Amino acid sequence: MAMTITEKILARAAGKTRVIPGDNIWVKVDILLTHDICGPGTIGVFQQEFGKTARVWDPDKVAIIPDHYIFTRDVKAHRNIDTLRQFVQEQGIRHFYDPAESTYRGVCHVALPEVGLVCPGTVIFGTDSHTCTHGALGAFATGIGNTDAGFILGTGKLLIKVPKTLRFRIDGTLPPRVMAKDIILRIIGDIGFDGASYCAMEFTGDAIAALSIEERMTICNMAIEAGGKNGIIAPDEKAFEYIRARTSAPLDPVYGDPDATVEHEWRYDAATLVPCVAEPHVPSNYAPARDRTGVKLDRAYIGSCTGGKITDFRAAAQILRNHKVSVPTFLVPATVEVAEALLSETFDGRSLVQIFADAGCEEIAPPSCAACLGGPEDTYGRTSGSEAVISTTNRNFIGRMGSKNSRIWLASPLTVAASAVTGHITDPRDIS
């Protein structure tokens, strides 16, 4: 019987020839990802349940990427990183990127593919809801809690339900200055904040094929903002090229059957999509940017696993190279690799770092999650009052960036940059 890409990956991981949505199956795990805020609790569960001296099922399949509370004076945050250090040492875990060492990477969802740990057809669980990002390279990837993760540490397996698939087909060509973020915010706006609850979100069509891997990550990253279990895009030559540049691991991709049935298919003509925002306080509050030019802003923020990749900064620089910002503009590269590219990449002889400095942006922060999730009081870019913020991040919940009284508009890096220039929400097509 025909299966979707998600069903096929799960069937293979369960050692079955077929699965159907709703089946509860034990799957073998290829990668378990955790970080500094859920890692210590996961380790706690593992040691409580399997014993203090228990060994993890496979140290090479565990990736521990501290990223959330790194540049802070918070004492517990440092204790938590120490807990991770001790654990990786005891267990011989190689994929650990210590904030105090040159191996530090930054935000886990951008770092994991960078270090070559995301391969098509594999099963990835992470103690972070945005683990769904990794579907951009054709993996099944989803977020779990500490207890499930502790279970995986001990067994390498997890009992999961096979999700139904919702397919989003975006054909045609995206207009200039319309980005992946505009695609996913439109979809979430259409289907609602829980519109894909428990479902796989499969993205396909020529507009998706035309996107860079980083842009595909933006789309899969936000599957969770519609309640999706995973986001997934069939791997292609672009994906293989991205992965081959980072790992020599043999690739064994999985593709969906063309005649597989899906729960529902939505179709979009890319040409009809426009730069947009998600208004406070849910990501499904869609509005075209041109309809919200009356919204005055106090700050702009470019960063996070959704909007802090090199492609996001390149997009912002396209606008900021010609302008000055009129509101404080905070920049947080997702990873060290992105931060280095900001120095080495140039537009008309100026590095991106120089362009942002000339435009009057705040000094670029070191890579981490920073104010994407508020965090400890001393976090860079954290809101403290009733700021109106336009941000490339993925969540505009009440209090998400710190203060309960601040309001967050989500947008693409182009829209954020254009709005930073004018001080109100601005369609990037309306600025040079």
Partner 1 sequence: MNATDTQIIRGKVYVAGDNIDTDQIIPAQYLNLVPTIPEEYTKLGSYALCGLPDTCLPFIQPGAVTSEYTILVAGRNFGCGSSREHAPIALGAAGIKAIVAESYARIFFRNAVATGEFFPFETARRLCDTFQTGDEAILDLKAGTLTRAPSRETFALNPLGAVAPVVAAGGLFAYARQTGMIGKKG
Q: Given the rule CB under 6 A, which residues bind ligand SF4?
A: 67-68, 107, 109, 128, 130, 304-305, 369, 372-373, 393-394
Nearer to partner 1, 327 or 332 (CB): 332
Question: In the beta sheet, which residues pair with residue 170?
Answer: 268
Backbone angles phi, psi at 145, to 5 degrees: -95, 180
In the window 399-418, what residues touch partner 1 (CB under 8 A)? 399-400, 402, 404
Q: Closest by alpha carbon to 330, among 432, 431, 420?
A: 420
Q: Least distance to partner 1 from the beta carbon of 395, Å?
A: 7
Rounded CA separation 279/27 (Å): 38
If binding is defined by CB under 8 A, does position 358 make contact with partner 1? Answer: no
If binding is defined by CB under 8 A, does position 147 make contact with partner 1? Answer: yes
Q: How many helices (H) and strands (E) does the chain have?
A: 14, 19
Residue 304 interaction partner, one of partner 1, ligand SF4, none, beta carbon < 5-8 Å per kind: ligand SF4
User: CB under 8 A: which stretch of 38-46, 206-214, 237-245, 299-307 binds partner 1?
Assistant: 38-46
Nearer to ligand SF4, 21 or 307 (CB): 307
If binding is defined by CB under 8 A, does position 82 make contact with partner 1? Answer: no
Rounded CA separation 52/198 (Å): 34
* Helices assigned H by DSSP within 296-335: 304-307, 310-320
229, 299, 309, 407: which one binds partner 1 (CB under 8 A): 229
Residue type, 424: H
If binding is defined by CB under 8 A, does position 354 make contact with partner 1? Answer: no
Nearer to ligand SF4, 8 or 181 (CB): 181
**Dihedral sign computed on CA atoms, order 366, 372, 378, 382:** positive
Rounded CA separation 404/285 (Å): 18
Give the distance, in angstroms, between the CA of residue 174 and the centroid of all CA atoms in the same chain: 21
Nearer to ligand SF4, 13 or 112 (CB): 112
Q: What residues have CB less than 8 Å from 172, skipping those under 6 apart? A: 205, 206, 207, 269, 270, 271
Q: Which residues bind partner 1 (CB under 8 A)?
A: 24, 26, 37-38, 40-41, 44-45, 48-49, 51, 68-69, 74, 76-77, 80, 83, 126-129, 131, 143-148, 151, 154-155, 157, 159, 161, 193-194, 197-198, 224, 227, 229, 282, 373-377, 395, 397-400, 402, 404
